[in-house]
């Protein structure tokens, strides 16, 4: 799975158009969100087949800004502070979180500026290592 950063118009129907284009091509969105930033629509959506999603959108004139590798993590929802802990580990390792959202399976999706360092932290987190290790 990959995240696509997508530029959309800032007008009624822009998301609907994108959704219909994807649906007509049989492409499912697995998570994400959309915001207006500086009067421009910016969306980040998760796709199983990002290559197909990108092609379908670009063929219809919708700009895909970037395709991003993702980190996928499950937080312990019954333990307060999980988000703060994992994001602090990223910060201590010098990893900037560029995008964060949840997928349809309640997993945390992160796009980071240093994938390898971020992946090491995420892999350790999955093993129950909640302290910064050499990355």
CATH number, domain with residue 26: 3.30.2130.10
In a domain, 40, yes or no: yes
Closest Cα partner for 61 from 17, 116, 123? Answer: 17
> What is the largest distance, in Å, between two alpha-carbon atoms of the chain?
48
Same domain for 116 and 78, yes or no, is: yes
For the chain, the domain total comes to 2
Q: What is the pLDDT of residues 46-104, one digit of tens each?
A: 999 999 999 999 999 999 999 999 999 998 878 888 999 999 999 999 999 999 999 99
Same domain for 22 and 62, yes or no, is: yes
Residue 133: pLDDT band by 50, 70, 90 thresholds? low
In a domain, 131, yes or no: no
Looking at the DSSP bridge assignments, the partners of residue 99 are: 111
Q: Is the pLDDT of residue 30 over 60?
A: yes
Half-sphere exposure in the Cβ direction for 53 (13 Å, CA): 25
In a domain, 135, yes or no: no
CATH number, domain with residue 108: 3.30.70
Q: What is the pTM assigned to this prediction?
A: 0.90
Where in the sequence is the domain holding 116, given as residue range(s)?
A: 71-126
């Amino acid at each position: 799975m990959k995240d696509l950063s997508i530029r959309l118009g800032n007008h009624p129907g822009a998301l609907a158009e994108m959704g219909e284009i994807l649906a007509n091509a049989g492409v499912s969105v697995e998570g994400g969100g959309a915001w207006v930033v500086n009067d421009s629509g910016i969306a980040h959506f998760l796709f199983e087949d990002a290559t197909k999603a990108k092609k379908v959108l670009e063929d219809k004139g919708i700009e895909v800004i970037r395709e991003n590798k993702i980190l996928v993590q499950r937080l312990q929802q019954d333990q307060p502070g999980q988000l703060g802990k994992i994001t602090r580990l990223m910060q201590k390792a010098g990893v900037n979180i560029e995008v964060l959202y949840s997928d349809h399976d309640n997993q945390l999706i992160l796009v980071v500026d240093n994938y390898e360092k971020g992946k090491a932290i995420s892999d350790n987190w999955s093993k129950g290592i909640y302290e910064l290790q050499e990355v």
